[in-house]
Amino acid sequence: MKRYKPMLARSARAPFSSDEWIFEVKWDGIRAISYVSEELSIRSRNQKELIDNFPELSELKDLARDTVLDGEIIVMKDGKADFAALIKRSQNTKPGDIDYLAQKFPATYILFDILQKDGKELLDVPLMDRKRILENSVRDGKFVVRSLFVEETGTDYYRAALEKGVEGIMAKKKKSIYEPGKRSNNWLKIKGARTCDCVIFGYTKGEGNREETFGSLILGLYDNGEAIYIGKVGTGFSREFMEELKRSLAEYIVDEETLQGVERDREIIWLRAGVVCEVGYQSITEDGKLRIPVFQRIREDKDPLECTIDQIRPALSDYTDMRDFSKTPEPVALVEKNTGGSFVVQEHHARRLHYDLRLEKDGVLKSWAVPKGIPDISGERRLAVKVEDHPLEYGKFEGMIPEGQYGAGTVKIWDRGLYEPIVWTQNKIEFIAKGEKMEGRYVLVKFKKAGEKNWLLFKGGD
């Protein structure tokens, strides 16, 4: 059978509800694609054979025929998925221990997609049709079950999932095709806490009570194949774990620098890219670093090249879904590095002339359509309608959007420059603009009585 890479999800900042999406539990486990024919093979994302470590999952051969299935292997303990117990099982190689652990900590394989049936590839079949095929192709067993999902009510489902101790949910567009190896806007992961799978490129030499271990781990992510430095993590370790981790990292030590842009405040021991860890963080700094990072765990089930920068960049699914980039000259969301505090106003001759105000924030351009233009007199108020976030690249866009496309018409840059935020809350944004035409203090206030997307923009006094 043909081998497949699993389809990957982008991160979404908050839960949402939509009749165009389904919602499933995001399990804390090992992603695995199974190949069911005369022989059974269950492989991890890095193509490791898993059936030897999880012999109880061999029942799948009796539950399905001639299929390729996608799912997640978990180990439940005290009513919750226990990742540490799962990894312990995946690492064990002694037959006696494997059998013992299979009895004490049995695995569950949760199936949520089907890629092939009776030799026919199903990648281009819409998700809901694949779900129906999966339903008719696989029976539930003792250790193998099909994933349950809900439609539309993503926000409520998310809250219920967190109350049950689950780390989050997955949102999947009903019409989405299966895109092997691609991190797609059509699948989104929504987690209760922000975490990131990072590559360890080195560590700083320890001092004081850490002299025998290390100071902090040097972290990076890949951006189009290039390693990008995203910060260091020095908290979240026990003393015993630090000693064990330092020993395990010894085989990856190299003489040459493996990551550029790292602060050299201490001596660095460089490592070749081979070890992945999960790190929690509060937010992303303006220069693209993890703010207040805390070490969570080592992820032996992840390949370093899977650790890409888009984990910490916001999803632009609304922007992408509204546009056919084979027809419109508007930029694809490739995401440039943050310039920090830029703004742009674009004159948009669409069905009706309006002006689009865009403020750079959290790696995107937060955007409002202002029908009557930017106010230039102190106290003058204009309606500003909140629209979808745009990629940073859009700040340079000028051109003609063709007929039949969303926002058809001519776009010209009316003004651009930098801005300094004073207040940025859910209901009010106040900033100082430094452009050629838009200069001084401006305020955006949510106009609650007129609807969720309506704001008022006015020029403040100097």
Task: Decide the pairing of beta strands 268-270 and 195-205.
Answer: antiparallel
Contact 57, 51 (CB under 8 A): yes
Within its chain, how far is the Cα of 73 from the centroid?
Answer: 20
Q: Which two tokens stand for residue 236?
A: 């979240």
SS3 289: coil
pLDDT at 317: 64
Q: Which CATH code is given to the segment(s) 8-191?
A: 3.30.470.30
pLDDT at residue 451, as a whole number: 72
Q: Rounded distance, CA 293 to CA 78, Å?
A: 28
- Tell me the domain boundaries of the chain: 8-191, 195-311, 317-459
What confidence score (pLDDT) does residue 335 get?
47
Which residues are CB-contacts of 234 (< 8 A; sequence separation ≥ 6)?
215, 216, 217
Tell whether pTM > 0.95: no
Contact (Cβ atoms closer than 8 angstroms) between residue 343 and residue 331: no
DSSP string, 349-417: ESSSEEEEEEEEETTEEEEEEETT----SBT-EEEEEEEEEE-GGGGG--EEEPTTSTT-EEEEEEEEE
- What topology does CATH give the domain 195-311? OB fold (Dihydrolipoamide Acetyltransferase, E2P) (2.40.50)
Q: Which pLDDT does position 428 carry in this prediction?
A: 92
Rounded CA separation 298/296 (Å): 7
Q: What is the pLDDT along the chain (462 residues), one digit of tens a residue?
A: 899 999 999 887 678 888 899 999 999 899 999 999 999 999 998 899 999 999 999 999 999 999 999 999 999 988 888 888 898 899 888 888 899 999 999 999 999 999 999 999 999 999 999 999 999 999 999 999 999 999 989 989 998 988 888 889 999 999 999 999 988 889 998 887 788 999 999 999 999 999 999 999 999 999 888 999 999 999 999 999 999 999 999 999 999 999 999 988 899 999 999 999 999 997 777 678 898 899 999 998 889 998 998 788 766 767 877 887 778 899 876 544 455 689 999 999 998 999 999 999 877 899 999 999 999 998 889 999 999 989 888 999 999 999 989 999 999 999 999 999 999 888 899 999 999 999 999 999 998 776 778 999 999 876
Which amino acid, 129? D
- Per-residue model confidence (pLDDT) at position 333: 66
What does DSSP say about strands 276-280 and 294-298: parallel, antiparallel, or unpaired?
antiparallel
The confidence score (pLDDT) of residue 28 equals: 87
> Contact at 8 Å (CB) between 169 and 190?
yes
| Structure confidence at residue 286 (pLDDT) | 62
